[in-house]
Each structure stands twice: as structure tokens, then as C-alpha cells.
């Protein structure tokens, strides 16, 4: 799910992102990696990726474990590359991205980024909490999307590499000051990326605040299990454990209804190809130019991550399974990729060349009393976990 999504390009440039990034390059003492254990682990390796306009250095960390290779930037916690093997053991990068920092700053539709303070949309950038009204940064027409004009995806994060037993990973820190993008409270965010010995990619989110606020953190990886730049994902098979979804208005803001998927193109309870019903002409699809909706997961909020979605590419044999403790999943079918962006492999990205599966609370939850709450108060800790399991 992204901006209307064309407006983010212009908004990013206008915001003067390079001049407003905060924090430090972080973890200057990051360990230089060497080949590791029998499980195929390798300590994170740090290298210079580029510089922002103000001279701030952007670093990339590369780590590998259990056959999965992950590349992460300290700019926005961006997953710049994620390689997994196909049925023949051949690795390919299955996430969309760029090979330079300038494109991430000026053009990216959130490729691989950490999203906050609030993933997805908030209507008119407004909400009321404890009797007080707040006006957020508006960057999607009249609405606020993914934290506003300078959300968590547009800042430098502090990064600490680690090895723990057979796991390798990165701990990312960012402090969002009181009032940033209109949100109340100083929010201290911590996100841990872990590659397990089995090649699973786990994301653990944590946050604390000194004032009551709203929080909804997620990851915005664009998936193509055939490999980035390899063409359409319409032949990918998708299954989502959800009997309901949240219909939206013309601005892609939830109406508040929890509608049944049965008998509609939104029914993915049994695996089907994404292309099968994507042109069914349902009014919700016409508004979104495809799929760009939140699925209400049958399991609801759970104490531990539970399997909720499976994505499979028959051609390569690659399969992605997603487990989460969150109540919602935003499925976005790459509707606004228009051939103007050139990715890491030198190919242009066109409509339907990737999809996003964002584990989350529901869009615009602060304005819907019937949606699960996203309120975080002092003394509480926001925690969420999503696990990506790969096979072929």
C-alpha cells in the first residue's frame, strides 16, 4: 500500500529530505564479516552505500544465514535486497529496490522501508485522543500516509549488528521527537531484523512513549518471487486466512465496515492466482486500480505469530509464508508502478511487477472505535513480530 502513490515522488523531493534526516550513521564499530558456521551464517558486513545531499553517509549491511541473503540500509531501515534460492538452488533478489541512495530519497514508493509512526492511512491526517485533536502531516491528497511527509522511512537509523547462537541480525533504533509529523509523544522505536539458521527473516518491533500516542509499525517490501524485474506477479498464487476485509472510499480510507470476502474477488481463503480476479470490475478494485486493501485476519491479535498468508511462484518454485501477531494484512498489487522506476537489476518496474503484504493494525484505526486500538501509553511497550519463511 502506498500513496495515491504517485504523489510521494513529488512530495519527497519537495520535503528536502536530505536536509532533515536526523540521527547518526550509527554502529561505526559494526563488525566486518567473515564466513561463519555450518548453517551458512555470515556476520553482518558494513559498507558505504552513498551520501545524502548534506554529506550524511548511508551504509549498507549484508548478512546471510540458512541460504537467505539480506541487504539493509540505515536509511529508513530499507531492505535493499533479499535473495533466496529457487527449486534448483539458484539465488535471486525477490524484493524491489534501487542501486543508489539518490533514487531512494527522491523517487521511492517505500521500497523495502520501515514504516512509522503509523503504517497506512489516517483520514485527513486527523484523530482525537483523550479529548485532544491532532493534525498530522498530510501527504496523500487530504490524508496522511505511512507517517507523513517524513515518516520513519526517510530518516537515518542507528544500526547495531549481532550474532546470537546460530542467528545473525541487526538492531535498528530511531527516536521520533514529540510533535514530529504532528504525532504526540517522544517515541523510541527499536526494530530487530534476524536471519535464522533456517533462513527465516524475522522482524521484531518495539516502541515506548512518554505521552499517549498512536503507533502502527510495518515493513513495506515489494515481493516478486520470480526475481525483481522478472515481470508480472499475476501468476503468483496467494492464500490469506481472512474471511473479511475493510472496504474503502475513493480516497482508500476504510468506511468502517468489516465486509465478507465470500463471493467477491477478495476471497483468498483458498489459494488462487493474483491475476484470476484482479480485473473483475468490483467497485473496490476500480477505486484502488487493483488490490490495495486491509484483510481482517481470522485469528485476530495473538500472543505469538501465527501463519496467515502463503505466496507461491509456480515458475521458480519459491514460496513465502508469513506469520504475525497482528490483526490485519494489507495486500497491495503494485497498481501504481508505471515504468518510470529502474530497479537494482536495471529493469523498469511496471504495474503488477510486485506486491506488498504488510502485517499491521487496520488503516485509520484511531478514527474507528470498532477497529482494534493502536493507542500506546506511557509505561506500555508496543511489541509486534512478523516472520517470513522461505522454501522452494
Q: Active-site residue numbers? A: 220, 358
Smallest CA-to-CA distance from 375 within 39, 178, 117 is with: 117
Distance CA 81, CA 62 (A): 9
Cβ neighbours of residue 345 under 8 Å, at least 6 residues apart? Answer: 93, 227, 228, 229
Distance CA 17, CA 288 (A): 28
Phi, psi of 342 (to 5 degrees): -110, 125
Smallest CA-to-CA distance from 336 within 28, 90, 11, 8 is with: 8
Please check whether residue 183 is in contact with residue 213, taking contact to mean a CB–CB distance below 8 angstroms.
Answer: yes
User: Rg of the chain over CA atoms, in angstroms?
Assistant: 19
Cα–Cα distances in angstroms (integers) from residue 139 to residues 5, 19, 23, 54, 106, in the given order: 10, 18, 23, 23, 15
Which letter, b or e, does each residue of 185-214 get, where b requires 16 or more Cβ atoms within 10 Å of its Cβ?
A: bbbebbbbbbbbbebbbbbbbbbbbebebb
The cell for 191 is 526494530
Cβ neighbours of residue 285 under 8 Å, at least 6 residues apart? Answer: 265, 278, 279, 291
The cell for 41 is 551464517
Smallest CA-to-CA distance from 65 within 163, 160, 158 is with: 163
Distance CA 106, CA 90 (A): 33
Q: What letter would DSSP give residue 182?
A: G
Amino acid at each position: 500500500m502506498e500513496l495515491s502513490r504517485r504523489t510521494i515522488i513529488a512530495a519527497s523531493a519537495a520535503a528536502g529530505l536530505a536536509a532533515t534526516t536526523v540521527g547518526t550513521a550509527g554502529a561505526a564499530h559494526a563488525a566486518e564479516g567473515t564466513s561463519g558456521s555450518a548453517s551458512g551464517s555470515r556476520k553482518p558486513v558494513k559498507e558505504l552505500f552513498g551520501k545524502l545531499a548534506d554529506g550524511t553517509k548511508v551504509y549498507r549491511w549484508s548478512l546471510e544465514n540458512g541460504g537467505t541473503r539480506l541487504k539493509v540500509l540505515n536509511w529508513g531501515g530499507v531492505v535493499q535486497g533479499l535473495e533466496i534460492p529457487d527449486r534448483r538452488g539458484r539465488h535471486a533478489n525477490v524484493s524491489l529496490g534501487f542501486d543508489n541512495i539518490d533514487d531512494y530519497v527522491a523517487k521511492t514508493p517505500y521500497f523495502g522501508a520501515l514504516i512509522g509512526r503509523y503504517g497506512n492511512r489516517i483520514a485527513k491526517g486527523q484523530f482525537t485522543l483523550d479529548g485532544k485533536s491532532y493534525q498530522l502531516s498530510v501527504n496523500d491528497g487530504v490524508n496522511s500516509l505511512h507517517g507523513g511527509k517524513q515518516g520513519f522511512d526517510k530518516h537515518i537509523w542507528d544500526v547495531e549488528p549481532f550474532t546470537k547462537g546460530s542467528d545473525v541480525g541487526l538492531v535498528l533504533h530511531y527516536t521520533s521527537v514529540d510533535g514530529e509529523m504532528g504525532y504526540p509523544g517522544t517515541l523510541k522505536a527499536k526494530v530487530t531484523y534476524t536471519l535464522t539458521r533456517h533462513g527465516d527473516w524475522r522482524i521484531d518491533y518495539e516502541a515506548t512513549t512518554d505521552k499517549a500516542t498512536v503507533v502502527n509499525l510495518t515493513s513495506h517490501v515489494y515481493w516478486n518471487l520470480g526475481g525483481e524485474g522478472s515481470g508480472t506477479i499475476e501468476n503468483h498464487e496467494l492464500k490469506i486466512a481472512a474471511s473479511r476485509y475493510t472496504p474503502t472510499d475513493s480516497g482508500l480510507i476504510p468506511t468502517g465496515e468489516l465486509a465478507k470476502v465470500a463471493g467477491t474477488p477478495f476471497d483468498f481463503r483458498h489459494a488462487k492466482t493474483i491475476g484470476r480476479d484482479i480485473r473483475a470490475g468490483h467497485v473496490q478494485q476500480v477505486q484502488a486500480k487493483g488490490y490495495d486493501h486491509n484483510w481482517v485476519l481470522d485469528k485476530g491479535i495473538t500472543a505469538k505469530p501465527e501463519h496467515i498468508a502463503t505466496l507461491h511462484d509456480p515458475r521458480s518454485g519459491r514460496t513465502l509464508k508469513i506469520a504475525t501477531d497482528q490483526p490485519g494484512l494489507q495486500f497491495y498489487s503494485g497498481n501504481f508502478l508505471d515504468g518510470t522506476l529502474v530497479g537494482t537489476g536495471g529493469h523498469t518496474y511496471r504495474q503488477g511487477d510486485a506486491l506488498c503484504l504488510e502485517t499491521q493494525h487496520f488503516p485509520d484505526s484511531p478514527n474507528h472505535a470498532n477497529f482494534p486500538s493502536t493507542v500506546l501509553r506511557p509505561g506500555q511497550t508496543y511489541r509486534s513480530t512478523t516472520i517470513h519463511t522461505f522454501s522452494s
